[in-house]
């Protein structure tokens, strides 16, 4: 395959699951694909401050899309960034305090939380940089979350109250899952970020490949020339994908890349 492709891979439930063996197999195949001249990007809902260290992004990938399209990098160069408006950040925090909501603000430099979900914090610290977690309270919040603090997205652990949708207004997209939810910038998205990067790299969108397992991957998989849903993805995602691969713990990323590139 002489023509060069650009590949976009989600992290949780796609690149990384419970199996370290599957993860290493995925990385090994990614290295082979990159050795052929193709470009491989991480494309995740995680904010920059919450990227897993085990990915070694600068070593194993050509760039990263974080915060579901909030920030895009090609190599070490930041090519796009868009952060939550401070007025929305303030409304989200006020709602979280008033309702004791296990809410998190995912930033470019730090992760912010309110101390309402300690169990989650303990699990998260195992895979992220510990000193990037900042606990907020009603006394310190105005000093910590100033208007120039870059927040890429919000996360809520457990059920997102319907009332929050009205508080945030039309600037946000709320995605609800079984045990958590994500609040993304409506003006962004993984699909839009994909289009921006292939344009920068001068690669036709027809030669883009996107893989994911979640509804925050929907627009990316629909936009890509080849959209791949993981075996553990919901039916809504599988129905719009061009290909369904194995599950995350069966190294579905490796399986799909090996098939597409005849490795």
Closest CA to 17 of 213, 180, 245: 213
- Sign of the dihedral defined by the CA atoms of residues 18, 237, 43, 188, in that order: negative
Contacts 24+ apart (CB under 8 A), 54-62: 54/16, 54/23, 54/127, 55/11, 55/15, 55/16, 60/27, 60/30, 60/31, 61/30, 62/34
pLDDT at 118: 56
Between 227 and 132, the more confident residue is: 227
What's the pTM value of the predicted model, to 2 decimals?
A: 0.92
Q: Does domain 6-81+188-260 have CATH number 3.40.50.1170?
A: no
Q: Give me the residue label for tokens 């344009």.
A: 199
pLDDT at 117: 60
Edge-first strand listing for the sheet containing 208-212: 77-81, 71-74, 63-66, 39-43, 6-9, 208-212, 226-229, 243-244
H-state helical runs in the chain:
20-35, 57-60, 86-99, 118-124, 141-144, 162-168, 190-201, 218-223, 235-238, 252-260
Could you give the percent of the chain with pLDDT greater than 90?
A: 81
Across the range 169-198, mean pLDDT stands at 92
pLDDT at 127: 42
Residue 122 has pLDDT above 90, yes or no: no
Residue 128 has pLDDT above 50, yes or no: no
pLDDT at 125: 44
Across the range 220-238, mean pLDDT stands at 97
Q: How confident is the model at residue 171 (pLDDT cuts 50, 70, 90)?
A: confident
Q: How confident is the model at residue 120 (pLDDT cuts 50, 70, 90)?
A: low
Residue 142 has pLDDT above 80, yes or no: yes
183/153 Cα distance (integer angstroms):
6
pLDDT tens digit string along 44-91?
A: 999 999 999 899 999 999 999 999 999 999 999 999 999 999 999 999
Is 174 in contact with 168 (CB distance < 8 Å)? yes
Helices then strands, each counted (H, E), the chain: 10, 14
134, two tokens: 């900042």
Domain assignments of the chain as residue spans, ordered by start: 6-81+188-260, 86-185
Between 137 and 126, the more confident residue is: 137
pLDDT at 126: 43
154, 155, 196 from 116: Cα distances, Å: 15, 13, 37
Residue 26 has pLDDT above 60, yes or no: yes
Which CATH architecture is the domain 86-185 placed in? 2-Layer Sandwich (3.30)
Count how many Cα atoms sit within 13 Å of the Cα of residue 76 in the half-sphere of its side chain: 3
pLDDT tens digit string along 241-252?
A: 999 999 999 999
pLDDT tens digit string along 34-47?
A: 999 999 999 999 99
5/170 Cα distance (integer angstroms):
35
Mean pLDDT of the chain: 92
End-to-end CA distance of the chain: 10
């Amino acid at each position: 395959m002489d023509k060069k492709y650009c590949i976009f891979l989600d992290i949780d439930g796609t690149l990384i699951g419970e199996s370290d063996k599957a993860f290493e197999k995925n990385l090994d195949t990614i290295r082979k694909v990159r050795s052929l001249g193709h470009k491989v990007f991480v494309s995740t809902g995680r904010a920059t401050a919450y990227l897993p260290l085990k990915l070694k992004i600068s070593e194993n990938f050509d760039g990263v899309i974080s915060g579901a399209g909030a920030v895009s990098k090609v190599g070490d160069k930041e090519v796009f960034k868009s952060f939550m408006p401070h007025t929305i950040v303030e409304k989200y925090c006020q709602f979280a305090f008033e309702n004791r909501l296990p809410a998190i603000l995912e930033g470019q430099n730090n992760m912010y939380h309110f101390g309402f979900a300690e169990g989650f914090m303990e699990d998260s610290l195992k895979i992220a940089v510990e000193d990037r977690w900042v606990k907020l309270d009603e006394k310190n919040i105005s000093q910590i979350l100033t208007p120039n603090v870059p927040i890429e997205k919000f996360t809520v652990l457990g059920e997102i109250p319907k009332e929050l949708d009205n508080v945030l207004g039309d600037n946000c997209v709320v995605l609800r899952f079984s045990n958590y939810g994500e609040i993304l910038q409506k003006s962004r998205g993984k699909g839009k970020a994909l289009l921006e990067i292939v344009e920068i790299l001068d690669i036709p969108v027809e030669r883009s490949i996107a893989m994911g397992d979640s509804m925050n991957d929907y627009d990316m998989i629909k936009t890509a020339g080849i959209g791949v849903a993981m075996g553990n993805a919901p039916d809504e995602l599988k129905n719009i994908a061009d290909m369904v691969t194995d599950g995350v713990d069966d190294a579905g990323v490796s399986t799909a890349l090996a098939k597409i590139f005849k490795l």
